[in-house]
Structure formats: structure tokens, C-alpha cells
Amino acid sequence: MTLQTQAVLAVLLDRETWGFELSRESGLPAGTIYPILQRLTAAGWVTSRWEPADVAQAEGRPARRYYSLTTEGRARAVHAMTQAAQHRARLTGLFSPEPGGEHA
Amino acid sequence: MTTRDGVHGEMPDGASSLTSSPRPAARIEHASDGTGSRAGTAISATQVECVAGGAGSPADAALSTPQVECAPNGTGSRMGMTTSAVQVGCAPNGAASPTDMATSTARAGYAPNAAALPTGTATSAAQIEHGSGGTGSRAGMAISAAQAECAPSGTGTPAGMAGSLPHVRCATGEGPDTAGRRVSGPGSGAVSLGVVGGVALLVGVFLGVRGSGWVWPLLFLAAVVVVGVLVGRRPWLVVGMVVVTGALLSAPDGLVRYLGSLWLWVAALLGAAAVLGSVRRCVPTGVTVLWHLALLLPRGERELWRAEVGSVLHACSSAAERRRQVRGFLAAVPATVLTSWRVRR
């Protein structure tokens, strides 16, 4: 799982959100996020809904597409994020010096 | 623009007026519904009225006093005068389009969809340009002063001239109350074209007679000039062409290469300007490119992607953020296209 996907999942685990907010919170451009969301949607992890048109019209803006994790997607995302964190920790451990292992 | 003595006031009811005392004072009052005005005077006085509701009432003027009234909804005006220069511009929705006016030349801008009016007077010539709803006209005024009135529909009714007093009025739905020389609207264009065409013909005949044998080529050139004026509405360009061509034809042989070089440079610069202008108009923006790139996506995905792009770009609060998002979408087009087709299969 790429770091970008992890960033998107981390935001979606928190709450339902839409493209621009997702972009702002993950730090990725919305264009990068879109194919990730497509893949996650195709895999059944993410579902999306368009906000009602009258709400958008009342606020004078285009309708937003909200993304959220499905129940299955949430469970898998949590699992994948845990695994990714463990993997990261292992990698970090490889490169960090062990206590007392330094020799002159 | 020199502003020496000006007072600004705002009228929330939409009507605005500006009146100034005859000598070095100017006062501008303007409406709050998007109308903006700015004025300044030095030496002589300036009067400007901006009326949001449509009708503009004239202001009085003193000797050597330019007077400008601009009207309608969302019209902004800006005016500044010094002894030698005046800026006048009117534009809709609060945007002001300034115009420069010098002692010898005046020019005023007239914005579409809002009857704004310009005025220009000068010692020797004035030029008024305006357009509304796609129509535009341009006219030249010579000597002293001019009065003009014009309506928002793009038609203008000019007024008379008196003393050294320029007077321009522009109001929505209000007709002129004076008669005089037509300085705006379709008629003024005809006057201007006639003058330019006549001058070009006279120059052609004169130079042709002097040069013996150049009469017909110069008459042909004059005809081309008239056509050019009719098509391009750029009298100054045509006059310049005639002058340079005439100088080339009548100059001694030794000077021809210098004048030829000058003509070449002018032509090159004009050509470059035309090319740059065309490129600037033709090159699409990033958003337009994105819209067209959506054609690469599967049919069912195009509108979804466009809607996503639209909602994201609409939410961008700054131009920098918007550019970043547009670049992001552009850079991710290959991945988006591949993913879309792969997911669809």
C-alpha cells in the first residue's frame, strides 16, 4: 500500500469527507487522490454519494461528492494501516542504531 | 492622475452624483451598489455624476471645465485631470477602466452591459470609444470641446460643443437634451471613417502627382486604407501606414533604406503583436484543457470527473491553491485514465 493511499485512508477513517477537504487534510492534490479513490471504490472499501443538488444550489456552489469507508473497508483499512505501521517500524528499526551497539 | 482636491461621498440609495465647484475642486459621490468613482482635479474643475438607477443628471461646468456623467447599474468611473491629462473610465460591476486623456488627445472607455461613458476633450482632438453588448463605435473629435451623451444600449447621442467646454453625459434610459456633433454611436464611426478616408485620398493624390506615375498605386492604397478602416477600426494605424508609404515614395533614394527599415520594424512589431495576441486568445487555460482531457476517460466517468474537478476548483480560496489543484489534476491524468479504464473492465 502506497503512502498516498495510507494518507487517504487515514483521513477517511476519521470521517466522511469530500475531494477538496480530503486533499487538504492528506496534503495531496485532488487529482492524485481521485484515482486512489477509484481503486478503493472498485475494491469495495469506499463508497461515495453526491450531496443533494438543492443544498449545493442554496450555497451557490457545485455539488460535492462525499466519500466514506464501507464497513468492510473500514475493517480492512484498519488492518492495512496497522500492518503498514508495523512494517514502517521494522524498517525504522533496521536503520536506527541499537543502544550500546555503537563502537568507535 | 493628480488628485488635489476631492471629496468622496456615498449614497446608499443607489443614486450618486458628483458636483464640483468651477475652480480647482472636484467632488464625487457614487452609489454603493457596485458603483465606484474616483476623481481628482488640478487647475480646472471636474464634474462627474454617476447614477445607479439609470438617469443621470447633468452637471454644470465652467469655462475650461470637463464634465462627465456616467450612469447605470454597476458603473464605475474614474476621473482625474491635470492641466494636461485626464483619465476617464467607466466599467461595470465596480471595475474601472481608466482612460487617458492628454492635452492633445482624449480617449474614453465605455464598458459593455453598463452604460458608462467617457468623455474626452482636448486642445486638438478627442477620441471616444465605447461598446455595449458587442457593439462599439469610435469617433474622433477635434478642437476644443465636445459634449456627448450615450445610452447603455451602445448607441450614443452626442451633444454640442460650446466654448472650451467639454461635456459628456451618459445615462441609462435618458435621452440627450442637446444637439450637436455626433461623437458616438454608428454615425460617429461614419464621420471618422470619412475623414480618414478623405485624408488618405488627398495624401495619395498629392504624393502621386508629385511623384508622377504613382497616382494609381496611391489611389489603390487609399482604397485599401478605407477598407482597412472599415474593417479594422484602427484609423491611427492606417494614417501611419499612409504617411510612411508616402514618405517612402517621395523620399530621395538615399533615405529610402532608412524609411524602409523603419517600415519593416513597424510591420514586424505589429506582426509580433498580432501573433502574441492571437496566441494569448487561443491557448486554453488549464481548466479548459482538463475539460477536454476528460474525453480520455470512459464515457460514464467523464461527467463524474468533471464534476469532481469543478467542485474542488470552486472550493479553492486562492489562485495559488487553484493552480496547485489544476496542476495536480493535469499531472494525474494518465493515472486517472488508466485506473478508470482498468476499473471499468
Reduced to 3 DSSP states, what percent helix, strand and coil does chain A have, rounded to the nearest 5? 60, 10, 25
What is the share, in percent, of chain B residues with pLDDT greater than 70?
A: 27
B82 has a pLDDT exceeding 70: no
Do B111 and B166 lie in one domain? The reply is yes
A30 or B271: which leads in pLDDT: A30
Buried b (16+ CB within 10 A) or exposed e, B148-184: bbbbbebbbbbbebbeebbbbbbbbebebebebbbbb
In a domain, B1, yes or no: no
Read off the pLDDT of residues B16-54 as tens digits, 9 standing for 90 and up: 333 333 333 333 333 333 333 333 333 333 333 333 333
User: Residue B338 belongs to what H/E stretch?
Assistant: helix B333-344
Residue A35 forms contact with B (CB below 8 Å): yes
How far apart are the C-alpha atoms of A71 and A17, rounded to whole Å?
16
What is the share, in percent, of chain B residues with pLDDT greater than 90?
A: 2
For residue B331, the chain A residues in CB contact (below 8 A) are 29, 31-32
Last residue of a domain, one of B281, B306, B327: B281
Do B87 and B132 lie in one domain? The reply is yes
Q: What is the pLDDT of residue B92?
A: 38
Q: What is the pLDDT of residue A34?
A: 92
**Looking at A17-21, A36-40, B87-91, which range is the least confident one?**
B87-91
Give me chain A's average pLDDT, please: 87
Q: What is the pLDDT of residue B278?
A: 73
* Host domain of residue B83: 6-184
Last residue of a domain, one of B150, B184, B218: B184
Q: What is the pLDDT of residue A95?
A: 75
All 3 cell numbers of residue B177? 437634451
> Which is nearest to B291 in space by CA: B280, B301, B302?
B302
Nearest to B312 among A30, A41, A42 (CB): A30
Do B75 and B126 lie in one domain? The reply is yes
Domains, in order of start, for chain A: 3-88 (1.10.10.10)
A63 has a pLDDT exceeding 60: yes
Quick check: A16 and B316 in contact, CB under 8 A?
Answer: no
Q: What is the dihedral of CA B328, B331, B337, B340, to 10 degrees?
A: -30
Average pLDDT of span B249-263: 74
Do B20 and B156 lie in one domain? The reply is yes
Confidence at B292, pLDDT banded by 50, 70, 90: confident
In a domain, B340, yes or no: yes
Do B79 and B216 lie in one domain? The reply is no
How many domains are contained in chain B?
3
Read off the pLDDT of residues B145-174 as tens digits, 9 standing for 90 and up: 333 333 333 333 333 333 333 333 333 333
Residue B335 forms contact with A (CB below 8 Å): yes
Last residue of a domain, one of B261, B281, B301: B281
A75 has a pLDDT exceeding 70: yes
Do B230 and B321 lie in one domain? The reply is no
CB within 8 Å: A20 and B307: no
**Looking at A30-39, B11-20, B282-291, B308-317, which range is the least confident one?**
B11-20
Do B83 and B162 lie in one domain? The reply is yes
Q: What is the pLDDT of residue A46?
A: 93
Residue A59 forms contact with B (CB below 8 Å): no
Q: What is the pLDDT of residue B337?
A: 92
All 3 cell numbers of residue B318? 486562492
In a domain, B324, yes or no: yes
Residue A47 forms contact with B (CB below 8 Å): no
Average pLDDT of span A28-38: 91
Do B19 and B88 lie in one domain? The reply is yes
Q: What is the pLDDT of residue B189?
A: 54
Q: What is the pLDDT of residue B172?
A: 37
Do B36 and B134 lie in one domain? The reply is yes
Do B295 and B277 lie in one domain? The reply is no
Nearest to A31 among B314, B316, B331 (CB): B331
Confidence at A9, pLDDT banded by 50, 70, 90: very high
Q: What is the pLDDT of residue B5?
A: 38
In a domain, B168, yes or no: yes
In a domain, B333, yes or no: yes
ipTM: 0.83
CB within 8 Å: A29 and B329: yes
Confidence at B219, pLDDT banded by 50, 70, 90: low
Q: B300: which residues sit within 8 A by CB, 6+ positions away?
A: B344
Do B19 and B87 lie in one domain? The reply is yes
A66 has a pLDDT exceeding 90: yes
Q: Tell me how many degrees the CA angle B269-B271-B272 measures, rounded to the nearest 5.
A: 65
Q: What is the dihedral of CA A77, A79, A85, A86, to 10 degrees?
A: -160
Give me chain B's average pLDDT, please: 54
Do B78 and B173 lie in one domain? The reply is yes
The shortest C-alpha distance from A91 to chain B (Å) reads: 28
